[in-house]
Amino acid sequence: AGAADSEFLKLLQKEKEALKSKHDVLKQDHKRALQEVEDLKKKQLSEAARFARAEGEYKAKVAAAERRAEQLQQELGQQHQMEVQSLLKNNESILHKQHQLLQNVPSQLLTNAKATASQAELEKIVREEAQHESQQQLRTMQKNWALEVDNLRRQNEYWTDLRRREAEKFAADFNRFREDAQRKLGEVTAELLVLWDYGARAREVLAQVAAGAYPVQRRGARA
């Protein structure tokens, strides 16, 4: 019976050593999983900082674009006002010169109404041409302003879309890393629970064997 007990105890010792080895492996896996979680936290903080920098740059560019739009609007307004004043002065000068020319025309050349336009008609023609030129320049200015506004709008849409895509990518990466970390921790926790239960049962068996609760018999021996 002593030899059989010795063999059984050796078997239990091997089981105990195997159990300890598996426990060490699981402990290392758990430590590695915790380190991965810690690395994940650091990466998330780094991503958050990068996103904050991108958001700051975006806000700065939007603010600069708004300031540029306001400045451009003021410049165009001032330029338009100056050009209108210049056109008015130019028109007045043209009308004055035309009036002087008409005054110098001999009266007999103005008697034929069918062949010669009156002074009022000539002034009207000059005024309409000046007005047409002024309106054309104004339309050109408005067109350039519309192009500038559209360019600013496109830039704003680009940075808004870039911010949205970066936010979505950050959220997706965060969720994927979190799910992966939770899965690994769950697997390690489950294995540790199984190992703990197995170890508890093994300790109970060893305690009962030591107490003589399980008599050991040699093969072929009668009880």
Q: What average pLDDT does the segment 203-216 reach?
A: 68
Least confident of 25-39, 55-69, 121-135: 121-135
| Between 195 and 21, residue with greater pLDDT | 21
Question: Which pLDDT score is estimated for 108?
Answer: 47
| Between 153 and 1, residue with greater pLDDT | 153
Where residue 139 falls among pLDDT bands split at 50, 70, 90? Answer: confident
Mean pLDDT of the chain: 71
Q: What is the 3-state secondary structure (H, E, C) of the chain?
A: CHHHHHHHHHHHHHHHHHHHHHHHHHHHHHHHHHHHHHHHHHHHHHHHHHHHHHHHHHHHHHHHHHHHHHHHHHHHHHHHHHHHHHHHHHHHHHHHHHHHHHHHCCHHHHCCCCCCCCHHHHHHHHHHHHHHHHHHHHHHHHHHHHHHHHHHHHHHHHHHHHHHHHHHHHHHHHHHHHHHHHHHHHHHHHHHHHHHHHHHHHHHHHHHHHCCCCCCCCCCCCC
Assess whether pLDDT exceeds 60 at residue 73: yes
Q: What average pLDDT does the segment 170-195 reach?
A: 75
pLDDT in tens, 74-118: 776 677 667 667 766 776 676 666 666 656 655 544 454 444 455
Question: Which pLDDT score is estimated for 96?
Answer: 67
Least confident of 16-30, 42-56, 207-221: 207-221
pLDDT in tens, 40-61: 778 777 877 777 787 777 778 7
- Alpha-carbon distance of 130 to 144, in angstroms, equals 21
| Contact residues for 118 (Cβ-Cβ < 8 A; gap 6+) | 110
Domain boundaries, the chain: 2-210
Q: What average pLDDT does the segment 27-34 reach?
A: 79
Question: Which pLDDT score is estimated for 102?
Answer: 58
Assess whether pLDDT exceeds 60 at residue 182: yes
- Alpha-carbon distance of 181 to 41, in angstroms, equals 10
Q: What average pLDDT does the segment 31-46 reach?
A: 78
Question: Which pLDDT score is estimated for 113?
Answer: 44
Position 146: which residue type?
A
